[in-house]
Chain A
């Protein structure tokens, strides 16, 4: 009785001490003197809540039963801390910038702040953690009874009173006192963290003390100890590769997903930099914790009577040796392990339950009609307290239902496998933008269902699932047998369940994510989570000062204009009771400033600007996106205006060009009509004058009669020719000409043209040169002859040499036939060379019968025949070059 009384007294004293530590830490934090609280060492020690009673008592039991396999539980977190340091940092960054309060909050925030998902994760966490809490109750209860064995009255007391119940109630009260004393927006609990750090030291010290006692006090040093280990059954233990890998992965996953781990890793994190220290310090802590596990187990197996619970060796070995003090220390270590885990787990779960289940229901019931913020605050605290009570009650129930006889490690692993179901949604959420709410929900549900079916329910023994179901499957469906799902038999039940639940969870998560479309909010959150490092810096706390007020004023002046900004700042300063223009940058003032600015630059931009100047607040992706949105709208508007104005300019330019063209055409048309009029009226004038002379017949001599009649005739012919040319040109220009394509020899065309111009009777001598005149043509021979005749006739008319001579030279060049008409006259002056092909153009001072349409017509004809006509300068006389495509077929002769 005395022992038990002492034990209880020590426990109470210990708890009081913890409470004092927590209280002092809270006070220090409140007064802003808690810098030492924000040390990476405190952070590292707080992570030690990973080591629960399971680690403290269970690891030795595990080693006694399964050898070195207990190490996997330490290996997983070590790998995460060392190898996945950056992933943890990402999670911490997300948690801080997004003000994440729990695992459920993280997952639901990532997937579009989904309430359903939050509830699912919360329920899964509660169900998953319940066995774990029961494990703590069981270990504390066991340790009480271990002490009580030597004490008959105590044993009776233990038997009479339900120790586990009292432990549960005690822990609930303890947690409520610690965890819900006040509400912090960031869900930080400085006092609790400090208490946990103290407990971390106590449990490590206790375990090492027992270890040292075992190795040096009992075994007689390291050497003899090693021999004992070699001799024991642990020495013969074989590594089961599958289990080893599976358990390592499971513990790594649980390290990330356990609500209490998330609480200390992310929520309670003060500074990302602490991770740097924890990355090596925490694995070191784990190593120290595991250092003496095997020696204690070996000595326990040697010293303790067969059948005694190896989970209690840490306690029972010192007790059996009469070392009550050491046993007491050991008991406190275990007590520390259990309480710290329960406190943090209960706080984390209570936060989730109250935030995601109780509060939404409460707000819905009251239609948001709580009479004030203090009212809501009261409800939140009440919800938290109730939640803590419920969580512990569930743990106690599980302990009672499962019978309390199971090995601690086995219970822990069930929890691990359950919580690991959160991993795909969590890791996918922060690394894969394509992950969707539906994917996460589907994966979670399937994983949770398989875990519950194949691992959790069989845990309860025959009470939950009948032997028939275990043997034959539900309704005789063999492939649904809990421990042989899908026909896979003979695998370790834990591995079997973890494998199926996690792999199906991951597969369903990925597949459903791929085929479902995320909502805009999900996309946004996904982008923020996955790209957290691109958009945020390590946030610091706001510490506003007058200096920042000045910066704010400078900015406000730029945006609002000096007069308005100054009067606004003055009013604000007066409102705070300050003289002058610079108010304190209180949140109130900042909010009003933002509103003021947003009138000018848009809400998002205003927020980003104020945040920028306040420095501390990071400009979040949301802010940036909103700014980009506003900017995009403005840009779109201005680009629309721009497009419109450029369209107008373009239309105006087009109109101007069209107008110019019309004017030009009109001028051309006038000039053309005027020309035609002139060309027609000139022969008509002669015809009319002479015909009147002939009609009047006055003073006419017979020779005049003939002459005037022939002039009339010639002018009539000239008129006809002119009309013919005009029509011809019109047809050619409109492209309405119909060509009469025939085969013929180029030389024949030239001969015919020379004959048609009647050069034999004139002075012009025509010389034909060129080897290629025996060329077969396939073209409109008549039109070609028309061109040739025109060119020969021009030479006749214009060649001013004493002995006029025209050389017609034929050449083949490439695929073309070149016919040059070169006379020995003075040629066409350079300034006129480009003009000769214009309609009605006539080289000045030349008397000629033509209307000046000949070359214009010729050029049009050549264009229709696929050739060209051009003036060839530098030939010593007038020179025209006709070029036309050669016929496909050459002369057959």
Chain B
């Protein structure tokens, strides 16, 4: 049974690239591009893992993550945070919000797959 991953990201090209490499790796990939309803989408689709961008239209990734961690169903959900702003402060904010893993764009495809596999293996 393949693991289901939900990509929350507003850049279509990035969704397409991640979808391709994860599908190739045997993941079931789903995506969403809006921050507003991201929390309810997560709860509705109940993925095994979430890839969350920080800068989203409507709501920031930190807020979404904080909300997810506040709810029992999603409080242990593995979340990989992606950000294009690779400063130390961003990593700190991500960890405080409860990110399982933090990666800076641009990333290497291999690193993403490795990270995801590590997260679901726990």
B2 lies within 8 A of chain A by Cβ = no
**Residues of chain A contacted by B105 (CB below 8 angstroms):** 681-682, 684-685
Q: Which of B42-50, B73-81, B84-92 contacts A (4 or more CB under 8 A)?
A: B84-92
- Contacting B106 at CB < 8 Å: which of A674, A687, A845, A847? A687
Q: Once bound together, how far apart are the Cα atoms of A677 and B86, in whole Å? A: 8
A184 lies within 8 A of chain B by Cβ = no
Which chain B residue shows the least CB distance to A711?
B13
Contact status A689-B57, CB under 8 Å:
no
Contact status A689-B21, CB under 8 Å:
yes
Near B by CB (< 8 A), chain A positions 696-754 give 696, 698-699, 704, 711, 715
A contacts with B, residue count (CB < 8 A): 26
**Distance (whole angstroms) from the CB of A283 to the closest CB of chain B:** 106
Q: Once bound together, how far apart are the Cα atoms of A845 and B58, in whole Å? A: 7
- Contacting A689 at CB < 8 Å: which of B17, B34, B55? B17
A693 lies within 8 A of chain B by Cβ = yes
A595 lies within 8 A of chain B by Cβ = no
Q: Once bound together, how far apart are the Cα atoms of A674 and B55, in whole Å? A: 11
**Residues of chain A contacted by B21 (CB below 8 angstroms):** 689, 692-693
**Distance (whole angstroms) from the CB of A127 to the closest CB of chain B:** 105
A668-695 Cβ-contact flags toward B at 8 Å (1 or 0)? 0000001001111110111111101100
Instruction: Please judge, given known A-B contacts A688-B108, A689-B17, whether A699 and B58 are in contact too, CB under 8 Å.
Output: no
Q: Once bound together, how far apart are the Cα atoms of A846 and B10, in whole Å? A: 10
Contact status B24-A682, CB under 8 Å:
no
Contact status B24-A689, CB under 8 Å:
no
Instruction: Please judge, given known A-B contacts A711-B16, A715-B13, whether A689 and B85 are in contact too, CB under 8 Å.
Output: no
Contact status B109-A692, CB under 8 Å:
yes
B1-18 Cβ-contact flags toward A at 8 Å (1 or 0)? 000000000111110111
Contact status B109-A682, CB under 8 Å:
no
**Distance (whole angstroms) from the CB of B35 to the closest CB of chain A:** 10
A2 lies within 8 A of chain B by Cβ = no
A344-380 Cβ-contact flags toward B at 8 Å (1 or 0)? 0000000000000000000000000000000000000
Instruction: Please judge, given known A-B contacts A678-B55, A682-B14, A845-B58, whether A688 and B106 are in contact too, CB under 8 Å.
Output: yes
Q: Once bound together, how far apart are the Cα atoms of A845 and B37, in whole Å? A: 13
- Contacting B87 at CB < 8 Å: which of A674, A686, A690, A846? A674
Contact status B107-A688, CB under 8 Å:
yes
Instruction: Please judge, given known A-B contacts A693-B17, A715-B13, A844-B57, whether A685 and B108 are in contact too, CB under 8 Å.
Output: no
B contacts with A, residue count (CB < 8 A): 26
Which chain A residue shows the least CB distance to B82?
A685
Contact status A686-B14, CB under 8 Å:
yes
**Residues of chain A contacted by B11 (CB below 8 angstroms):** 682, 685-686
Most chain A beta carbons < 10 A, residue from B13, B16, B57:
B13
**Residues of chain A contacted by B107 (CB below 8 angstroms):** 685, 688-689
**Residues of chain A contacted by B86 (CB below 8 angstroms):** 677, 681
**Distance (whole angstroms) from the CB of A472 to the closest CB of chain B:** 116
Which chain B residue shows the least CB distance to A690?
B17
Contact status B85-A678, CB under 8 Å:
yes
- Contacting A682 at CB < 8 Å: which of B20, B84, B108? B84
Q: Once bound together, how far apart are the Cα atoms of A847 and B9, in whole Å? A: 12
Which chain A residue shows the least CB distance to B10?
A847
Contact status B85-A674, CB under 8 Å:
yes
Contact status A686-B13, CB under 8 Å:
yes
Q: Once bound together, how far apart are the Cα atoms of A711 and B12, in whole Å? A: 10
Instruction: Please judge, given known A-B contacts A711-B13, A845-B57, whether A689 and B106 are in contact too, CB under 8 Å.
Output: yes
Instruction: Please judge, given known A-B contacts A674-B87, A689-B18, A693-B21, whether A681 and B106 are in contact too, CB under 8 Å.
Output: yes
Q: Once bound together, how far apart are the Cα atoms of A221 and B46, in whole Å? A: 154
Contact status A689-B109, CB under 8 Å:
yes
**Residues of chain A contacted by B17 (CB below 8 angstroms):** 685-686, 689-690, 693
A761-788 Cβ-contact flags toward B at 8 Å (1 or 0)? 0000000000000000000000000000
Which chain A residue shows the least CB distance to B23?
A699
**Distance (whole angstroms) from the CB of A359 to the closest CB of chain B:** 95
Which chain B residue shows the least CB distance to A718?
B13
Instruction: Please judge, given known A-B contacts A682-B11, A685-B14, A715-B13, whether A698 and B85 are in contact too, CB under 8 Å.
Output: no
Q: Once bound together, how far apart are the Cα atoms of A845 and B36, in whole Å? A: 10
Near A by CB (< 8 A), chain B positions 91-115 give 104-110
Q: Once bound together, how far apart are the Cα atoms of A715 and B16, in whole Å? A: 13
Which chain B residue shows the least CB distance to A688?
B106
Q: Once bound together, how far apart are the Cα atoms of A384 and B16, in whole Å? A: 129
**Residues of chain B contacted by A688 (CB below 8 angstroms):** 106-108
**Distance (whole angstroms) from the CB of B54 to the closest CB of chain A:** 9
Contact status A685-B87, CB under 8 Å:
no
Contact status B14-A689, CB under 8 Å:
yes
Most chain A beta carbons < 10 A, residue from B10, B107, B109:
B109
Q: Once bound together, how far apart are the Cα atoms of A699 and B16, in whole Å? A: 15
Contact status B84-A699, CB under 8 Å:
no
Contact status B14-A844, CB under 8 Å:
no
Which chain B residue shows the least CB distance to A692?
B109
Which chain B residue shows the least CB distance to A678?
B84
Q: Once bound together, how far apart are the Cα atoms of A704 and B13, in whole Å? A: 13
**Residues of chain A contacted by B18 (CB below 8 angstroms):** 689
**Residues of chain B contacted by A715 (CB below 8 angstroms):** 13
**Distance (whole angstroms) from the CB of B92 to the closest CB of chain A:** 14
Contact status B85-A685, CB under 8 Å:
no
**Distance (whole angstroms) from the CB of B91 to the closest CB of chain A:** 13
**Distance (whole angstroms) from the CB of A864 to the closest CB of chain B:** 31
Which chain A residue shows the least CB distance to B109?
A692
Task: Enumerate 6 A-B pairs (CB-CB under 8 Å) in ascending A order.
Answer: A678-B55, A686-B13, A688-B107, A688-B108, A689-B14, A692-B110
Given A693-B17, A847-B12; 10 other pairs, CB 8 A cutoff: A677-B84, A679-B84, A681-B104, A682-B84, A682-B105, A684-B106, A685-B11, A688-B106, A692-B108, A698-B24
- Complex A-B, nearest 5 residue pairs according to Cβ-Cβ distance, in ascending order: A689-B17, A681-B84, A686-B13, A688-B106, A685-B105
